[in-house]
Amino acid sequence: MNYILTTIGLSSLTNGLRGVFNAGEIYKYSNMNENEIDEDFKSKFENEFEKLKKSIKERTDEELKRLSAEINALLHFYKKGYLKNDFHKLLITDTYLGKKAAEIVEEVLKLKGISNISIYSPKDLKTSDIESFHLSLSEIVKDLSEELEGYKNSGYKIIFNLTGGFKSVNSFMQSMASLWADETIYIFESSEELLTIPRLPLKVDESIFKEKIEVFRYLEDGLKVDEKELENIPKSLIVKIGDEYTLSPWGEIVWQKVKRDIFKKLIDYRMIEYSNEFKKDFEKLSDNEKIQINKMFDLLDKYKITGEEKFNLKSLNYHSLSGEIASKYSYEFYPFDGNDSRRAFCNERDGKVIVEKIGPHLK
């Protein structure tokens, strides 16, 4: 089974609507939302687009390949047969035409019997505003890193199809592919040969992340960091937007990757302490459970420092206890993702959370 992420450009529209619109007319609106587009253009475009979409099922494979480079690559990838259980993620810009271009690729995949498709439009991903673009790229890493890891652990091969899409997006996704994808595929617009690049055996130096773990945790969520703490951190890993520092898109890629390894150990948090019983409980957990509970500790620590409810998510749900159990434990939270019913039981002392033990939910 394959997890295939495809970056989507506008060539399915410029090629598919050639003769009605020239490429310049299409690209004029490439960074616009629906309400920003000229009504005359939009009315004519939507009429012609529906004709294009309906024509998909009548086209031969050779005609479909000529619609766009990304479609060409996908059809070449499946030349030995379509795998119906593959999952396709279509990465598009946060624009009206981006969504329309993805609909064409989606229609082609459905025609071939593939229905497990998700169109992914990161908020504010446009090529017209550099600050919004950087923030959006960082959001892509946050959104995709855990998903990619989950599919990989479930036996999927991770493939990035970076044939189409915008160059500015693809150059970033190639960096992400170097750490997260098993292979990357390319094809030239009208080529008959698929170029496959396996993942390079890159080794990330984790020392700076381990040394400055609290700084990277705070940068990840945009919390204020003392500039002195940033002095020894490579400039490629951070970016200043306005008066605030945050992780650069590349920093986000590397951090999300190394964080999984760092979170396999019990981390020292400013507002959290551990009982000896809990330390023993932690050592009995699987690596995945250790990662999950550290994610919750990360949220809990930020919640206790800032007092902001945005960190006390439903998945964490740190709350006080009442009844008989409150005589021993004052608080609990959900330490694991999903439907796991176990709880982490806590007390508080001098403003800090003391994690006492992990146990079954006590009603």
Q: What is the structure's pLDDT at 203? A: 65
Residues in the chain: 363
Q: What is the structure's pLDDT at 362? A: 65
Burial 315-348 (b: 16+ CB within 10 A, else e): ebebeebeeeeeeebbbbbbbbbeeeebbbbbee
What is the 3-state secondary structure of the chain? CEEEEEECCCHHHHHHCECCECHHHHHHCCCCCHHHCCHHHHHHHHHHHHHHHHHHHHCCHHHHHCCCHHHHHHHHHCCCCCCCCCEEEEECCCCHHHHHHHHHHHHHHHHCCCCCEEEECCCCCCCCCHHHHHHHHHHHHHHHHHHHHHHHHCCCEEEEECCCCCHHHHHHHHHHHHHHCCEEEECCCCCCCCEEEECCCCCCCCHHHHHCHHHHHHHHCCCCCCHHHHCCCCHHHEEEECCEEEECHHHHHHHHHHHHHHCCCCCCECCEEECHHHHHHHHCCCHHHHHHHHHHHHHHHHHHHHCCHHHCCCCCCCEECCCHHHHCCCEEECCCCCCCCCEEEEEEECCEEEEEEEECCCC
Q: What is the structure's pLDDT at 356? A: 96
Q: What is the pTM of this model?
A: 0.76
- Whose tokens are 């229609």? That residue is 107
Q: What is the structure's pLDDT at 98? A: 93
Q: Are strands 2-7 and 183-186 parallel, antiparallel or unpaired?
A: unpaired
Rounded Cα gap, residues 358 and 278, in angstroms: 7
Rounded Cα gap, residues 333 and 343, in angstroms: 6
- Whose tokens are 């673009």? That residue is 133
Rounded Cα gap, residues 41 and 21, in angstroms: 10
Domain formed by 2-198, architecture: 3-Layer(aba) Sandwich (3.40)
The pLDDT averaged over each successive group of 10 residues in the chain (363 residues) is 94 91 87 88 92 93 91 91 93 92 95 94 75 78 87 93 85 84 80 71 76 90 84 84 79 87 92 95 93 94 91 92 88 87 93 92 65
Partner residues linked to 353 by β-bridges: 272, 348
Q: What is the structure's pLDDT at 129? A: 65
119, 144, 198, 297 from 106: Cα distances, Å: 8, 20, 26, 39
Q: Residue 79: helix, strand or coil by DSSP?
A: coil
Rounded Cα gap, residues 57 and 344, in angstroms: 54
Contact 331/318 with Cβ under 8 angstroms? yes
17, 45, 55, 130 from 51: Cα distances, Å: 9, 10, 6, 35
Q: What is the structure's pLDDT at 353? A: 96
What is the 3-state secondary structure of 335-354? CCCCCCCCEEEEEEECCEEE
Rounded Cα gap, residues 68 and 159, in angstroms: 19
| CATH number, domain 268-363 | 3.30.2310.20
Q: What is the structure's pLDDT at 190? A: 56
Rounded Cα gap, residues 107 and 13, in angstroms: 13
Task: List the structure tokens of 149.
Answer: 């890891």
Q: Residue 95: helix, strand or coil by DSSP?
A: coil
